[in-house]
Amino acid sequence: MRKVGVGLFFLGFSLFVIWQSWQVDIGTTKMPGSGFMSFCTGVVLAFLSLALILQDWKGEGKTAKIPYRVVLALVFLFVYSFTLEILGFYIATFFLVLVLFRLGEARRWWVVTAMSALVILFVYLVFERLLQVFFPPGIFGI
């Protein structure tokens, strides 16, 4: 019955997204408006929510135990969204990538740190130097 509650929540949320997208103007398939993408996302979410509800009512599927690493990754993504403007893109992303690499596989800290630094260097070279996309500098101006 737990999945029914989750499915109903997301069904309600998807209906809200569809309604708000309709208010913004979805346009047509040839000339999509600003609400077109969120409308399509809401429709897909509604179908997935209905599938989850039907699956639980039929008794199919097992309640899986959520791995703690997934929960930790979601927590760190949530924290990242708040620290991005404070610490700046490069510092906040470095720590996020560091944590995500560490959660992914058991590697030594120096390997994870080096890989995170290489990711940040790659992002810097491609986006800031090549494409001239500027990210939030944060309190340190980096």
30 belongs to a structural domain: yes
Say if residue 45 is in the same domain as residue 78.
Answer: no
Report pLDDT for 85: 87
Q: Residue 100 sits in which domain range? A: 68-130
Closest to 3 in 3D by CA, of 71, 69, 62, 68: 62
Say if residue 75 is in the same domain as residue 117.
Answer: yes
Residue 39 and residue 25: Cα distance in Å, rounded?
9
Residues 6+ apart with CB under 8 A from 100: 73, 76
Per-residue pLDDT averaged across 53-65, rounded?
71
Say if residue 20 is in the same domain as residue 74.
Answer: no
Residue 64 has pLDDT above 70, yes or no: no
pLDDT confidence tier of residue 67, bands split at 50, 70 and 90: confident
Report pLDDT for 30: 84
Per-residue pLDDT averaged across 38-61, rounded?
85
| Per-residue pLDDT tens digits for 72-122 | 988 999 999 889 889 989 999 999 999 999 988 878 889 999 999 999 999
Which of 39, 58, 77 marks a domain boundary?
A: 58
Closest to 8 in 3D by CA, of 48, 63, 44: 48
Say if residue 33 is in the same domain as residue 80.
Answer: no
121 belongs to a structural domain: yes
Residue 3 has pLDDT above 90, yes or no: no
Report pLDDT for 127: 92
Stretch (H or E) spanning 110: helix 109-123
